[in-house]
Structure 1
Amino acid sequence: MQDINFSKESIKNRMFKRVAALWEIKNIDNLDPVVKLMIEGLAGEIFKLSGEMKNIETRILEKVARALTPANMVSVRPAHAIMRVRSVSGISQIDKTTEFFYKNAGFLKKANLKRLGFTPVCTPQIINGKVAAIVNEKGYYHVDNVMTRDVVAWPEQPSHLLSRKMWIGLDLGKEIRVLENLSFYFDFPYIEQKEEYFRLLSYCKWHQGKNALDVKTGVYSFTDEGSDRKGQFAHKYEMCNMIDDDILNKYYHRFVTINSRILHGEDTTELFPGEIVELFPDDVVQQSSKPLLWLKVEFPPFFEEHIMDEMTVNINAFPIANKYRERIEYSINEMSTVVPLMMGENEFFIAVNSVADSFGNHYYENLRDNEKDKSNFTYSLRRGGCERFSSADAREYLVRLIDLLHDESVAFSSSEKDTLAESAVDLLEQINHLEHKVDVKNNSQEVVSYLILEQEVEDSRMLFPEYWLSNGPVANDINASEVLFYTSDSDIERGSAQLLSTTRGGQMAPDNTQQTAMYKYSLTSHGSVYSKEDIINFCNSRYGNFAGKVEVKRGYVASTIPGEGVIRTIDVYVSASKKLAHNEKGYFSEELHADLRRFSPDDFNYRVFVQ
């Protein structure tokens, strides 16, 4: 069907033609001037009404998309990275609420931040130990506390005993006798297209002496889910847990966890691996400072010599996200049961953690459960819309006032030209300046969320809401090796909290256009990627701010996995909507590749090309 042009002129012309046909007039110039004036006025009103109808349709679609799209897709995305710490003694764990602070005063002042916090996305196990030495084809290295490698010795001659093998020397506390579920983090900081190497780590063979070790991919985490199925289901679909799972998936293949028991004692430690001591100079044992627990790793054939030398490995590492808890106090009574969850500049709301009052009552979100809740204290969460006059209303009135000045400028200029016309021009300049300031502020500040208590409050009391916040894209690009600070956990060694990777991935909450694309993807694919259209919709919905044009083609490539040969691939070509730096293209490619694999069948082999 041909689209109808709803411009003001087209509406007026169609009305003139209709009037001329009804009155049998061949030339519209013969119409009465009063009739012409009435038709022009009516065409203008119809044009305004058609614009308002389009706005209503758009707002309805946006509201439906916001209500039916999964909450984790329309929320702000926290920046994430890998960090490491060290336990003071023995083996301990870090809770997901443990907060680490970044205290660079210059960075915080530039971004207008009061605080910049990170919390773990899992409950990792940490030990009193570190990677103290590494042996590979290139040589024998000592590793210090800041991950700098010092060459101790080189092999005297090449040998197949060193080919594609690495010995990791662990310096552990004497109180540790047995290790279980020890996780290693691997990285290739100076290698491009590193994702293919991460996926080969699961094919490595691990040994402690002559004993083979059982390993699995992923970081070890203590689970804390509900005891029943209902509790586990609710735990899985909590907002923060969905964000944590999404970030864990991005780093899943970078970790290897040893399931087998590792014994630590005088009979399992040595100064240097005995099976290769003859390949190094005679004084190599004397240059070793203390006995270490040595683990041997055999890598697949795809790992070349220079790749092995560029590889870094750490323990006590885990993923973190830029999200932290904020706690406020608010007085409520029978007349005031709406509580605003206030945020500072460059702070964005994620989810409510807990709500309690001064009488010791705990409030729970009303999830429309059929069963009657044990507690009668419930609340509903609403994002915006509770203000009598919000910033959105202010911008709408400004736009209407500007349109009025533009449309009726003749009326203003026709009377008292010396005073009113000049005042109108000055007013227009001030309104433009005010509108610009409102738009700039709105870009870094989202609408306020509110808690609406659903029970009548008979007595005045204090309410203590605790909720999660994030800084979105402001927390990106904090360099690796930066030190983080903490105050709550005494099991962590002072000064050991350090970033192992650059923070990235922080994004603002999607705008209305991107929310509509997300709704289209979730409605048509139900959260899975199977077809070419699913891939394109997924890229547009999840990375609409970066992906300009997406093309999907078929391809073939020699597999890096041992024994597979040539495999068919799905090649995704993404044209960036804006110019990206070289490292940003790599980050974008890695995240998109990880997300596509997560929502696709296991036999889909993707290659991502960012142009």
Structure 2
Amino acid sequence: MNDIFYSSKDEIRNRVLKNAQDYWGIKNTADFDPLVKLLIEALSTELFNISNEVDNLQNRMVDKLSGILAPDTLISAVPAHAVLHARPIEATEIIDEKEQFFYGKRLTGKEGDSREATADIFFSPLQPVKIFDAAVTHMATGGNLFQIDDQQHKLLVAQSKNSQQLERNAVYLGLSISSDITSLDGLNVYFDWKSYKVDKQTYDLLSFAEWSIDDIHLDVSQDSVYDVPGQQSVSPFYEHNILNLVTRDVYAFYRNRLFTLQTNNLLPAAHLQLYPPVFETVFPASNLEGLKGPLLWIKIVVPVTITQSILNELSVVINAFPIVNKRRHDLKHRLKMMNDIIPLRLSDQDQFLCVQTLKDNAGNHYTEIPQGYEEDRSAGLFSVRYGGAERFDKRNAREILDYLFELLRDEKAAFAAYGSDFLNTALKELEQNISMIAQKTTRQLNSIRELLSYIVFKPLEDADIMFLEFWTTNAELGNNIRTGSRLLPFESTRIAADSLFLLSSTQGGRSRLNAVNRVRAYKYGLTTGDRVVTHMDIVNFCYWEFGSNITDVKIKKGLMNSMHPKEGFVRTVDVMLTPAPGNGLKPEEWQSLLELAHSKLSSRSIMNLHYRLLLTSGNNSVI
């Protein structure tokens, strides 16, 4: 119905002429009276103007309502994330969220373009994290003793004699630590199966493990990856900051494989030894003599559900923490008369993420108002506006320009003083210039991710210079950087450069949503408030999260084995997703999307339910 109501001017005129032919029985349009043709032309012009006015009204209504009722965080660009390993130069170091690392990624050129290009993809932690001058050099489990090099490669150095085994489901970690380390409080431990595929429940079982050093129990936490004190107060706009939401989602995704030691009263130097006494009854003495230097041995006993064959493939790394693809920019803006707008000019591959701080030369900090800036608000406030990115309009540029030309012709009386031919000549030149601009900018528009963003603010008195600090991201460009890739420190000498490498592939990056997917995001935001309760909330969440990659979502009830040894089956909520034809995603990419969506869905659900995401088009991926 919408396509019938809205048409171009030529289509409207042709339909009116056809109906007139059928009504009067005229076979040739040339037989119409010139006066009738003139009336039909005038009627077509008015109908075309009315259809454009309706579209303008629709556009303004959707734009205004969405900006007021739904947070902009739902449609913002999302940075890619991964887990990074780093080792400090000193005994301990705290890396804050402004510490940056980068990776030079090769860009694939277009067809026929043989030139190679690279882009620096920047990463940084979401919050401060503590790292130690220490490393896991040995690991023992079952009847195997492994040596681990600086690149986390495992080498079997000893096997049990006479089929002797270590304690069932026990893993011993041998840590080489600096003598200057007096406490292991805040040490992050990362678990991964790099070459062995395990399900999510196996990672969840790690939270039931028992940790100890020389039979002294260790407290571990899954909620202390970042070295931040307890927050005293929360801003009323905390949920409207995209970085806060990214922190929540990234933390939820890695929570079941990242653990933090809490050992304030344990002195590491007092527990150093070459190897635990139990090793003498399991491994040959000739192999144990090859161990170099005293080590700090941590014993981890995991649930019996994790078999010994799975433990043999386990990889454990310390000094690991999540990072996201974001780059910090500093901008100085001098205030001029009637100038309270700061344009943010970005490079071709960058997309705006959020504002970190805005302050003036007097040291006054400005507060962001996410709902939009208004002139009558108090000084010291600012808002972010996205130039041109909020367009909800199905008309293309040519049709909008046609409407502009019609308006100019209707108002040609205003140009009568310049002569009768002035308007026609000016319109013809304008049309030629616009066509030339379209031809010149076609290639450039393909590389531009989004239009300019603006900071609109109301300065305080005596403010002459504004200092802006903001973050950008590379969105999808930051995805698919493989495990083991080396990063370089950016303007930092506190971290050993050869210790920076990825422990997981980067994933989760997404560009700012287009008009079609923004409607889905606003529908999800308006109906759920970013909290999942009902089945319809799950459906809206999936359409927002997967966008055009899926065509249908169905909710069913199911059963699965519980991860607790003393439980049987548990009820599940099965979310059946139908992939869109020609989506172009590989099975491993679908697996990554399903894992991310599952963690986000679980963190947003207020019900204690077990969710499973399944693909229904021949792909049996289950999360």
TM-score category, normalised to shorter length: 0.7 to 0.9
Counterpart position of 1:120: 125
**CA gap 1:29/1:289 in 2 versus in 1, 3 angstroms:** same
**CA gap 1:76/1:50 in 2 versus in 1, 3 angstroms:** same
CA distance, structure 2, for counterparts of residue 596 and residue 205 of structure 1? 29
CA distance, structure 2, for counterparts of residue 45 and residue 438 of structure 1? 36
CA distance, structure 1, for counterparts of residue 305 and residue 171 of structure 2? 15
Q: Is 2:469 the counterpart of 1:469?
A: no
Counterpart position of 1:56: 57
Selected match of 2:300 from 290, 297, 306: 297
Q: Is 2:310 the counterpart of 1:307?
A: yes
Q: Is 2:443 the counterpart of 1:437?
A: yes
Counterpart position of 2:567: 564
Give 1:246 shift.
2.2
Question: Does the 8 Å CA contact 1:89/1:491 hold for their aligned counterparts?
Answer: yes
Counterpart position of 2:248: 245
CA distance, structure 2, for counterparts of residue 125 and residue 262 of structure 1? 18
Aligned ranges for residues 43-442 of structure 1 at < 5 Å?
A: 43=44, 45-47=46-48, 49-54=50-55, 56-103=57-104, 113=119, 115-137=120-142, 139-159=144-164, 161-192=166-197, 194-223=199-228, 227=232, 229=233, 231=234, 233=236, 237-261=240-264, 263-265=266-268, 267-358=270-361, 360-365=363-368, 377-384=380-387, 396=397, 400=401, 433-434=439-440, 436-437=442-443, 439-441=445-447
Instruction: State the Cα RMSD in Å.
Output: 3.9
What is the letter of the counterpart of residue 446 of structure 1? E
Residues 211-230 of structure 1 deviation map (CA, whole Å, 9 limit, x = unaligned): 23232324422225764x3x
Query: What 5-or-longer segments of structure 1 have no aligned partner?
Result: 370-374, 406-422
Mean CA deviation greater in 6-15 or 285-294: 6-15
TM-score (norm 2): 0.81
Give 1:100 shift.
1.1
**CA gap 1:303/1:315 in 2 versus in 1, 3 angstroms:** same
Give 1:543 shift.
1.9
Report SS of the residue matched to 1:180: coil
Question: Does the 8 Å CA contact 1:185/1:255 hold for their aligned counterparts?
Answer: yes
Counterpart position of 2:500: 497
What is the letter of the counterpart of residue 126 of structure 2? V
Question: Does the 8 Å CA contact 2:104/2:118 hold for their aligned counterparts?
Answer: no
Residues 394-453 of structure 1 deviation map (CA, whole Å, 9 limit, x = unaligned): 972586469999xxxxxxxxxxxxxxxxx9xx9999787557436524xx3312122233
Give 1:240 shift.
2.2
**CA gap 1:128/1:226 in 2 versus in 1, 3 angstroms:** same
Residues 242-275 of structure 1 deviation map (CA, whole Å, 9 limit, x = unaligned): 2222222221111122334473455422222222
Report SS of the residue matched to 1:152: strand
Report SS of the residue matched to 2:337: coil
Give 1:37 shift.
5.5
Report SS of the residue matched to 1:215: strand
Mean CA deviation greater in 528-537 or 27-36: 27-36
Counterpart position of 1:582: 587
Selected match of 1:510 from 494, 497, 513: 513
Question: Does the 8 Å CA contact 1:337/1:457 hold for their aligned counterparts?
Answer: no
What is the letter of the counterpart of residue 127 of structure 2? C
CA distance, structure 2, for counterparts of residue 519 and residue 500 of structure 1? 35
CA distance, structure 2, for counterparts of residue 35 and residue 338 of structure 1? 53
What is the letter of the counterpart of residue 437 of structure 1? R
Residues 334-376 of structure 1 deviation map (CA, whole Å, 9 limit, x = unaligned): 143322111111111111222334455544435799xxxxx95
What is the letter of the counterpart of residue 5 of structure 2? F
Mean CA deviation greater in 34-43 or 207-216: 34-43
**CA gap 1:570/1:184 in 2 versus in 1, 3 angstroms:** same
CA distance, structure 1, for counterparts of residue 613 and residue 188 of structure 2? 29
CA distance, structure 1, for counterparts of residue 165 and residue 608 of structure 2? 34
CA distance, structure 2, for counterparts of residue 520 and residue 106 of structure 1? 35
Counterpart position of 1:595: 600
What number of residue pairs does the alignment pair up? 573
Counterpart position of 1:42: 43
Give 1:120 shift.
0.1
Question: Does the 8 Å CA contact 2:91/2:132 hold for their aligned counterparts?
Answer: yes
**CA gap 1:6/1:450 in 2 versus in 1, 3 angstroms:** closer
Give 1:4 shift.
10
Question: Does the 8 Å CA contact 1:193/1:586 hold for their aligned counterparts?
Answer: no
Report SS of the residue matched to 2:297: strand
**CA gap 1:254/1:266 in 2 versus in 1, 3 angstroms:** closer
Give 1:53 shift.
1.4
Report SS of the residue matched to 1:544: helix
Counterpart position of 1:519: 522
CA distance, structure 2, for counterparts of residue 211 and residue 274 of structure 1? 15
Give 1:59 shift.
4.7
**CA gap 1:105/1:435 in 2 versus in 1, 3 angstroms:** closer
CA distance, structure 1, for counterparts of residue 568 and residue 540 of structure 2? 31
CA distance, structure 2, for counterparts of residue 215 and residue 278 of structure 1? 29
Report SS of the residue matched to 1:174: coil
TM-score (norm 1): 0.82
Report SS of the residue matched to 2:97: coil
Give 1:491 shift.
3.6
Mean CA deviation greater in 596-605 or 506-515: 596-605
Give 1:159 shift.
5.0
Give 1:603 shift.
2.5
Give 1:116 shift.
2.4
Counterpart position of 1:542: 545
Counterpart position of 1:532: 535
**CA gap 1:265/1:187 in 2 versus in 1, 3 angstroms:** closer
CA distance, structure 2, for counterparts of residue 587 and residue 281 of structure 1? 43
Question: Does the 8 Å CA contact 1:169/1:292 hold for their aligned counterparts?
Answer: yes
CA distance, structure 2, for counterparts of residue 303 and residue 36 of structure 1? 83
Report SS of the residue matched to 2:317: strand
**CA gap 1:481/1:26 in 2 versus in 1, 3 angstroms:** closer
Q: Kindly, what percent of the aligned residue pairs are identical?
A: 26
Give 1:456 shift.
7.5
Mean CA deviation greater in 346-355 or 205-214: 205-214
**CA gap 1:450/1:267 in 2 versus in 1, 3 angstroms:** closer
Selected match of 1:481 from 481, 484, 487: 484
Report SS of the residue matched to 2:489: coil
